[in-house]
């Protein structure tokens, strides 16, 4: 599991390098000169060895978060120092046409869910059903009408990831926030999407 997580981290770093080069070529300046930087990088759908309170005592557990991500409350040593005083950053991506969110972990999540929260909204339609429902539609044009530029490998890739294929992440985040598992920090709007 650790090797797979390291591979995923290295892969994200390689992708980031390619994005930086593309931005430099397109904008004729470096991302650093524009003030662009990685704020936080996190993996999801992995298992980690962690300490949690169970029946009044601290125990080492392997916590597997499938469809979830860490939502540790403030003060935990596993949280990077820059964020430790406020809690774990929780990134909740939305779909191509609606919002994504940044949240922060809470002590309540530590008590209720072993420090876990959602990492997305979840699908409403299977990939096959989404492709079928998208027939005859111009998803890229629809997204452009919402102010979102999209590049995709092909029409089916775009169709299977269309916004209607997913639950509305804003509703999911409202539930997580209301339950006290994470607190809303920022709502982000998509501008450019690359699917490949």
Shared-domain flag, residues 56 and 138: yes
Instruction: Tell whether the model's pLDDT for residue 196 goes beyond 80.
Output: no
Residues 170 and 99: beta-carbon distance below 8 Å: yes
The backbone torsions φ and ψ at residue 115, rounded to the nearest 5 degrees and listed phi first, read 70, 45
Which domain range does residue 83 map to?
A: 42-195
pLDDT at position 160, please? 94
Shared-domain flag, residues 9 and 96: no
Shared-domain flag, residues 54 and 147: yes
- Is 119 annotated in the active site? yes
Shared-domain flag, residues 63 and 153: yes
pTM here?
0.86
Shared-domain flag, residues 88 and 143: yes
Shared-domain flag, residues 29 and 49: no
pLDDT digit string, tens, across residues 50-108: 999 999 999 999 999 988 999 999 999 999 999 999 999 999 999 999 999 999 999 99
pLDDT digit string, tens, across residues 11-65: 989 988 998 898 889 888 888 888 887 878 887 778 889 999 999 999 999 999 9
Shared-domain flag, residues 98 and 114: yes
Shared-domain flag, residues 104 and 167: yes
DSSP 117: E
Total tally of structural domains belonging to the chain: 2
Show the tokens assigned to 24: 């430099």
Shared-domain flag, residues 150 and 124: yes
pLDDT at position 42, please? 80
Look at residue 8 and give its three-state secondary structure. helix
pLDDT digit string, tens, across residues 135-161: 999 999 999 999 999 999 899 999 999
Shared-domain flag, residues 34 and 46: no
d(C-alpha 18, C-alpha 149), whole Å? 19
User: Mind giving me the DSSP string for 119-188?
Assistant: SS--BSS-HHHHHHHHTT--HHHHHHHTT-EEEESSHHHHHHT-GGGB--HHHHHHHHHHHTSEEEEEEE
Shared-domain flag, residues 28 and 52: no
Q: Among the options 52, 85, 119, 177, which is catalytic? A: 119
Shared-domain flag, residues 25 and 119: no
d(C-alpha 127, C-alpha 164), whole Å? 11
């Amino acid at each position: 599991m650790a090797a797979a997580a390291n591979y995923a981290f290295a892969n994200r770093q390689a992708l980031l390098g390619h994005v930086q080069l593309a931005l430099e070529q397109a904008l004729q300046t470096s991302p650093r000169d524009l003030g662009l930087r990685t704020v936080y990088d996190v993996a999801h759908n992995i298992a980690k060895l962690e300490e949690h309170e169970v029946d009044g005592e601290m125990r080492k557990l392997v916590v597997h978060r499938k469809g979830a991500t860490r939502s540790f409350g403030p003060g935990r040593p596993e949280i990077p120092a820059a964020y430790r005083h406020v809690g774990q950053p929780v990134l909740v991506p939305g779909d191509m046409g609606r919002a994504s969110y940044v949240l922060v972990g809470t002590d309540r999540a530590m008590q209720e869910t072993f420090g876990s929260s959602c990492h997305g909204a979840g699908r409403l339609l299977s990939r096959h059903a989404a492709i079928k429902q998208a027939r005859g539609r111009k998803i890229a044009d629809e997204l452009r009408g919402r102010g979102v530029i999209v590049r995709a490998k092909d029409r089916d890739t775009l169709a299977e990831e269309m916004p209607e294929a997913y639950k509305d992440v804003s509703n999911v985040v409202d539930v997580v926030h209301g339950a006290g598992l994470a607190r809303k920090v920022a709502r982000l709007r998509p501008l450019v999407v690359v699917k490949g």
